[in-house]
Amino acid sequence: MLTRRPAHERGHANHGWLDSRFSFSFAEYYDPAHMHFGALRVINDDRIAAGGGFPMHPHRDMEIITYVLDGAIAHKDSMGNGSTIRPGNVQRMSAGTGILHSEFNPQNDAATHLLQIWIMPNVKNVTPSYEEAEFPESEKRGRLRIAASPDGRDGSVTIHQDAKLYLGLFDGTECSVFPIEDGRRVYVHLARGELTVNGERLTAGDALMLTGEPLLTLGDGVNAEVLVFDLA
């Protein structure tokens, strides 16, 4: 079964310094039909104005992934980590028993565009931890490159859940066919561009949920950047 979620149906909040689109219920946006998809709890499509950001705030018992599309985000946390995340980087925090962190756009003249992703863990009260990995364009071009997994395979960041995140870039004749194991579901989020997924034409911000399908087929892209979640 295929279920398409058009970009314009997502929740929306604009705070001036922050313009967000919500794929799932979040903060003041509540939609009982879109609470989560399997363990995937949050995909926030955030645009943070120059110099804007989130001051120190807490999290616990959540796997938090940040993926920057344009610009940069400066991160600091209560574990002592501090770094600037840029396009091509994936940041993972396992909040576990509790962390504090802040995120700011360090640029003075440009907005930052990023995706903040939350995955519900399959174990609680773990020791908080932090990880970054870089996935250059060449590793995502015309294919799906694993970026997060429960076992850290192939240089992916490690998460506490039976879930995998893949990243891909598709243009022109580039295509990929991904077998879906029995009993698993797939969530496709198109971050930008256009892409045909299992016969459905998606544009930036659209999502496609696949349940009971044997294959995921991606192709006919126009400057497409896609995230694919393989979920139990």
Average pLDDT rounded to a whole number, residues 147-170: 98
String of b and e for 84-95 (b: at least 16 CB within 10 Å)? ebebebbbbbbb
176-217 pLDDT tens trace: 999 999 999 999 999 999 999 999 999 999 999 999 999 999
Cite the beta strand spans of the chain per DSSP E: 2-5, 11-14, 18-22, 40-48, 53-59, 63-70, 73-77, 82-85, 89-94, 99-104, 112-119, 129-134, 144-149, 157-158, 163-172, 176-179, 185-197, 200-203, 207-211, 215-231
Handedness of CA 142, 147, 152, 155 (dihedral sign): positive
Let me know: does 221 contact 194? Beta carbons within 8 Å.
Answer: yes
Give the pLDDT confidence of 141-154 residue by residue, as tens digits.
Answer: 999 999 999 999 99
A 10 A CB-CB count for 60 gives 12
pLDDT band at 92 (very low <50, low <70, confident <90, very high): very high
What tokens were used for 168? 């891909």
| Contact of 129 with 81, CB cutoff 8 Å | no
What is the arithmetic mean of pLDDT over 107-135?
97
Q: What is the pLDDT of residue 14?
A: 96
Q: Which residues contact 158 (CB under 8 A, 6 or more apart)?
A: 92, 131, 148, 149, 150, 151, 152
Q: Is 105 exposed, middle or buried (0-12, 13-18, 19+ CB in 10 A)?
A: buried
pLDDT, mean of residues 6-35:
97
Residue 105's pLDDT band (cuts 50, 70, 90): very high
The pTM assigned to this predicted structure is: 0.97
Beta strand 129-134 pairing with 99-104: unpaired
Q: 76: domain range?
A: 2-231
Determine the average pLDDT of the residues in 16-45: 97
Q: What is the pLDDT of residues 59-86, one digit of tens each?
A: 999 999 999 999 999 999 999 999 999 9
> Which residues does residue 47 pair with via DSSP β-bridges, in sequence order?
19, 113
* Domain total of the chain: 1
Q: What is the pLDDT of residue 59?
A: 95
CATH of the domain at 156: 2.60.120.10
pLDDT value, residue 113: 98
Question: How far apart (Å, rounded) are the C-alpha atoms in residues 62 and 134?
Answer: 22
What integer is the mean pLDDT of 107-117? 97
